[in-house]
Chain A
Amino acid sequence: MMILIAINATYFFATLFLDPRSNYRDLRPTRSDEEIGDALALYGLDPRMPAVDRWWSWLSDVILRFDWGHSPTGVPVGSEIPHRALLSGQLILAGVVLSVILGVALGVYTASRQYGIADRVLQTLSVLLYNMPVVVSALGLILLAVWFNQKLGQTVLSVAGAGTPGGVAGGFWPVLLDRANHLVLPTINLTLLGSAGWHLTQRSLLLDNINADYVRTARATGLTRTQAIRRHALRSSTIPTATSIAFTIPAVFTGAVITESVFGWEGMGRYFIQTIIRNDVHGVVAVAAFGAAATAAGAIFADIATAILDPRVRVN
């Protein structure tokens, strides 16, 4: 519900700040405002029409025919979205899932070895990563990969694009391998940055629980320390982590935008930048809708995870 309001609010923000007419202004022969308006009217972007009417015709198209409209130069938005959404979707999904797994694992590992050397080293590393801007880490990874490739004398890790330009010969498996290879670095980037936050929160959550009475009781029944942590403390301490997954999705989306632009992926992030530069109102709204859909998916995911972990939550 709130998501629908937010998408429609984005439509008005976009109409307010973007001027589709400027796409036609520099064209030769020069056109009058009238002619530009007529050209834009085809795509429902005519500035002479009240914004509310434009919004209404756009909204009814979306709802009735799932038609997300056209860019000011006439490219249908719907034709750009599917493959881009797939690319960004897999990046975001992999980033979220892997960073939660890695972060929780690190948190559990360091919490059960509090103040050990591993704990201190990983803690410092996570604080450092937590403060690292996405841009810096992405560029740093590229620098590292280039150096690595030069050492080995061949391209082991690809630093640009979502696949080798022109495609790879040899059927399904080489193509899959090529895709996976290009996915490695961007995913590592999102995973490392995301996992730092999960590590720090999970560590403190587990430490709150590790000395609780019920864990001591579990140990008194004859479980080893590891077993007691794994079976009893871990479960209750991951509940807050699970519920907060949904709130990190917008940040991951922003991170994905930057990661895509650094690694040269033609995903939603690139589209986001292009649509704003090209004054493409409908494209901007489609990007917002994609972000909102990702957030909603994250919220559902978080609910399911909470229901599994927390015995007090019962699914009806």
Chain B
Amino acid sequence: MAETRVSKYIEPPHLRLSRNRLYRRRFARNRGAMIGLMLLGFLVIYATLGGLLTPWHWSDQDFLALTERPSGRHLMGTNQGGGDVLAQTVVGLRRSLMIGLSVSCMTTLISAMVGAFAAYFGGWIERLALALIHFLLIVPSFLVLALVSNRVGGDWLVLVFALALFGWMIAARGVWSMSTSLRERDYILAAEFMGVPKWRIVLRHILPHLSSLLVVNFSLGVTAAVLAETSLSFLGFGVKPPDVSLGSMLADGAGVISSASWLFAFPAAFLLLFTMSMTLIADGVRDALDPVSAEASRR
């Protein structure tokens, strides 16, 4: 770390960057990451305030305009039931954002806890955790998700829990393998000899060390959750009518794709913008927190 050495001896103290400010500056200089952040900001604003762009409520049905092209009356056209596509994308995007963020919060938390505790405690706890991870990886999770969400009949909160339950394993394996290499580090041993309780070592010393991995896992988890939700809803298992999500809107558009392409184009575009923005942000965070490994792995 040449930078810190230089700043220690040459630069006056008030110019030294704290670690967080350094991270923030690296992130802000990454063009892709800033584009991703702006995209995400735009999508969040659209999902919260987009309803103001149209006088129609998402469940309104305009019987004078069934399957109409985009026009002044309906900016993004209407679907087969006369529903306003713009109003529906707002609600659908909001649903996708909420599902993606909440599922990813849960999976990141579960994977960090399971992975780090398993690696640090070792012994039978580690074996049990790894067996559980392997088992859940092999169970055909998409099938079980379809079963569960079909049974509960489109309640999206249950869907969130089900997606979280089957989404944490790969991330947990990553956390576990990183944590095993930390277990023998000097600062961990030092904490141990000072009599710090084991659970506190995990929370205070191991997990903060993995923060870059966790942030990246979080944003990739959002994408994975949104894609899973979209696929389920498209097949008719996840979010069901009268509730709308981007996936169920795609299902509406699928049958009439060549005659009414706007029913497909708008939800697809929002979906793609959302997943792209999360990937760009994940890349930016990884580069900002860990420029050395980024150079090793991506350049």
Contact = CB atoms under 8 A, between A and B. Distances in A.
B212 interface: no
A81 to B, nearest CB: 15
Contacts of B140: 6, 10, 250, 253, 287-288, 291-292
Nearest to B139: A6
B272 interface: yes
A273 interface: yes
Interface stretch (A28-36, A99-107, A138-146): A138-146
Contact of A262 (B148, B254, B296): B254
B143 A272 contact: yes
A315 interface: no
B102 interface: no
B279 interface: yes
Interface residues of B, number: 40
B27 interface: no
A257 B138 contact: no
Nearest to B277: A131
Name A's interface SS.
helix
B138 A6 contact: yes
Interface in B124-145: 134-135, 138-144
A10 B235 contact: no
Nearest to A272: B143
Contact-residue bracket for chain A: 35 or more
A133 B139 contact: no
A136 interface: yes
A139 B254 contact: yes
Interface string A253-292: 1100110011000000000110011000000100110011
B268 interface: yes
Contact of B258 (A3, A143, A207, A262): A143
Main secondary structure of the interface of B (DSSP, over half): helix
A114 B298 CA distance: 11
A132 B146 CA distance: 21
A258 B231 contact: yes
A180 to B, nearest CB: 23
A60 to B, nearest CB: 23
B299 interface: yes
B20 interface: no
B236 A273 contact: yes
B264 A254 contact: no
A274 to B, nearest CB: 11
Interface in B266-291: 268, 271-272, 275-276, 279
A139 B276 contact: no
Contacts of B271: 133, 136
A65 B67 CA distance: 53
Interface string B214-238: 0000000001000100110011110
Interface string A235-266: 00000000000000010011001100110000
B48 interface: no
Contacts of A127: 276, 279
Contacts of B223: 131
Contacts of B235: 257-258, 261, 273
B17 interface: no
Contacts of A220: none
A128 interface: yes
Nearest to B170: A247
A67 interface: no
B254 A133 contact: no
6 contacts: A2-B134, A2-B138, A10-B144, A17-B151, A139-B253, A272-B143
5 tightest CB-CB pairs across the interface, nearest first? Answer: A131-B275, A17-B147, A6-B138, A136-B268, A17-B151
Given A17-B148, A272-B146, 8 more contacts: A13-B139, A17-B147, A133-B230, A133-B272, A134-B231, A143-B261, A262-B254, A277-B150
